[in-house]
Structure formats: C-alpha cells, structure tokens
Amino acid sequence: MDKILLIFPELEKGIDFHHLPLSLLSIAAPLEARGIDYEIFDERVDDYDTLAEKLSGVTIVGITLFTGHQTRRAYEILGQIKAFDDTIITIAGGPHVTSLPEQMLASGLVNYVVVGYGDEIFCRLVEHLSGKGSDVGNKIPGVGFIDSNGSMVINKALNAVDKEYWHNLPYSKIDINKYINPATELVMYVTTYGCPGKCTFCATPCTRTWIQKPIELVTSDLKNLYDLYKFKMVVFNDATLFANKRRIFEILGSLKGYSEIRWCAFSRADEIIKYSKGELESIKTMGGDLINLTIGLESGSSRVAEKIMIKGNNHLAKFKECIGKLVDVSIPVLSGLIFGTPGETPEDMNNTIEYVSQIRTIYPDFKLSTTFFRPLPGTDLYLSLERSGYKMPGSLKEWADYAGLNHYKYNEWMDIPWMSENEKAEYRELYDRFLEAHGSILI
C-alpha cells in the first residue's frame, strides 16, 4: 500500500504561532474518507530533523507552494527529498504552482503538478498512481506531468470540487495544541474558496473560480474543531465572508451554542453596503462577538483603485459608505493599503494621504496595515509588468532565489524595482509624508 506524506513548508520567518494547515487538511479529507494512508508534516511546528524519518517508506509526497519564502523552502525541501530517494513521486500544488506549472515541471523536482483546487484532483491522482482509480492519468483535470516523449502535458484546471470529494477536515491528523496561542486561543477556518472580486494584484480570482463549501460541511467542521479544542476565537479567512447573506446567517447561527466565541472576518466594501443596519447589528452578536472586520481599501486614489487595481466602480465612495455603516453599529474595522503599484504616480499617493484623513474623520479609531506591491504570478499586474519589460524569475530556482525580495513586509519601506531611482526618491518622500500623517494608526 502506498504511503503518502503531505508537506507544508515554512510560510514566513519569525512567527511564534501559526494558523492550521488548512490547505493540507483539505486535500487530506478525501484521502481520509477512502482509507488512504498518509501523514502531515508541517515545517512550522514539526521538528525538521524528523523529516527524513517520516520519508522512510513514503511513495508519494504532496507539497504546497505560495509565492515568496514558502517557495524557497519548498524548493529546498524538494531537493532534499529527491536526494533522499529519487523514486518518491512528488506532487506540487498551491497558488504558485497553479500559475506557473511549466516552471515547476521543468525544475526536475516534481513529477506532477496540480493546477486549481486540489481537493478532488489530488485524490484522483493518488488513486490513479496507486492503481485504485479508474482515471487515465492524462485525463484527470488540473494534472500536469511530462509524458514518455518528454513533452509537458497540463490538463485544463477543474476549478470545482465534486460532492463526493467534500469531507470533514481530519483535525485528528495534527496536534492542534502546536498551533494555539494561549493568549488568544485562536483558530482559523475557510468556508469558501476563491473570491468573486477581480482585483488585478490578487492571485485568487485570476486562476480560480469562487466556490462555497457545502454549509453542512462548514457547520460540522466547526463543531468537530470545537469538540477537539474549545477555541475562544475563530478567524474566517475567506477572501470575503459576506457575499451571500443567507449563508453568513447560517454559519453564525451554528456558533450560537459555543461559549464566549469571538470572531473576525474579511469582506469587500461593495458587499457590506448591501446590508441594513439591523442585519449588521444581528451579525455583530449573533454567533458570538465580531471583534474585527477587515475591508480592503488598497488605495486612496480612485484612478489606481478603479483603473489599475480594478476594485470596482466608485470604490472609494463605497468604502466611505461602508465605514459609515460599520461605525454606526460599532463593528471594529481594519483595512489595508498597497504602495508602489505599477502606474501609481505622486498625485495618486497624495490622494491616498488625503483620503485616509477623510476616513479618520468618520472613524477616529480606523486602523491600517500597509505593504508594498509585489507581483504574484498569474495576476493581471504581473503580466502587465512582464509586457513592460520587467524581468520575472524564469524558473523555480530563480523564484527561490527571488523569495526574499518578493516576500511581503508590513508597515515598512520596500524597494520598488520597476521605478527609476529618481521616481523612487520622490516616492520615498511621499511615503515618509504618509507615515508622518498616519503612522499612528498602523498595526
């Protein structure tokens, strides 16, 4: 019988507590339901020195990659796996792989790639490799490989999950206590995949569709998690939790029996403005205490927000209306700004400084987290930079080497490689002006 090891490489350095490895738990769920033997190795919480021991007897490795530091670690780990035993079949998935499957296969470190949502695809591929499935390898949607003629074959992504592959997350396969900050007793959960938005900087909608997990699966997952660990806070890490009104009330209703739950979520301004004051008041307390709602601002320039980032028409007016609604019902708000977007001008930066001042008059306790734009493969802005002549990494190794430059940092200056030195100097002055005006609200 094949033995499978699922690997979550380190996502970023210097973090004391980590979110549950939901991506691995999601692809593990259908394996668990079918009695397929597997283990999970999470580099963030497991002793790396034990990896070689865990690889003993393994025939298939699945590994996930997000662009940045995790790509570097995945590259290094894959190299170690092949050096340990080059007969181990390696399968890579995740956002970076979905956008650059050819580079992954060309690296020589992976035998197969999974493009799109992996819950169904990975399971079908594992069953095929184990001789248990009815699929012919080159017919499985979203699977990429190099055929016997040396040609790359990458099947069109499925971007869906058939109902027979939806199963409860197998929390018992990890030690939940390794992930818990005792100060917050926080866990994370995702009720949907993808996003209905089309933001040009975000990898989520560019290569994948928006899928809602079956509501009965969501509620049972949360109950199972609560039974295992009486968490005090849950972060719904969906790109947006508020796109479907009926659904959010069902999810929050399922939390009513839990004791002293606090929760956080993400949403879009154009969704929140569709909720009445009464609906927002109900949401605030229905499933516990809503202690933070993150709404993306991204830029205070209407030109950048609407024409470059494609946040939607009248984004700034909708954001201002959204803030007013949330302040009126005392729902705490956190937002974010992205600096250094290709095409942004000094005038745009000045507009952002002024717009944030306007928001602070509406909501004095307004808080922000900021970062500098970094191109994510597959996104419109990534492709636009490529067309303009900006050289992107051309291989998995180059992405691994580039990881330190491409990984996000929060609330601090980062280089803007696509600007000239004069442009950077001018922008740096404006960035310092922003910090002088609004540095006190950054978290």
Residue 300 in contact with residue 356, Cβ under 8 Å?
yes
Can you list the residues of the chain whose pLDDT is less than 70? 1, 134, 136-138, 205-208, 404
Predicted local distance difference test score (pLDDT) of residue 256: 86
Please, what are the domains in the chain? 4-158 (3.40.50.2300), 180-373+416-441 (3.80.30.20)
Closest of 288, 183, 185, 287 to residue 228, by C-alpha: 185
SS (H, E, C) 69-104: HHHHHHHHHHHHHHHHCCCCEEEEECHHHHHCHHHH
Predicted local distance difference test score (pLDDT) of residue 13: 86
Please give the model's pTM, rounded to 2 decimal places: 0.94
The whole-angstrom separation of Cα 165 and Cα 273 is: 35
CA angle 88, 94, 98 (to 5 degrees): 100
**pLDDT for 153-164, tens place per residue?**
999 988 889 999
Name the amino acid, one letter, at 282: S
The angle that helices 346-362 and 315-328 make with each other, rounded to 10 degrees, is: 20
**pLDDT for 185-235, tens place per residue?**
999 999 999 998 889 999 875 556 889 999 999 999 999 999 999 999 999
Residue 208 in contact with residue 193, Cβ under 8 Å?
yes
The whole-angstrom separation of Cα 222 and Cα 265 is: 15
Burial of 101 (0-12, 13-18, 19+ CB in 10 A): buried
The whole-angstrom separation of Cα 399 and Cα 382 is: 14
The whole-angstrom separation of Cα 182 and Cα 14 is: 18
Closest of 294, 316, 293 to residue 304, by C-alpha: 316
Closest of 431, 391, 396 to residue 414, by C-alpha: 431
Q: Tally Cβ neighbours within 10 Å of residue 132.
A: 12
Name the amino acid, one letter, at 265: A
The whole-angstrom separation of Cα 165 and Cα 92 is: 19
Residue 94 in contact with residue 115, Cβ under 8 Å?
no
Q: Tally Cβ neighbours within 10 Å of residue 261.
A: 19
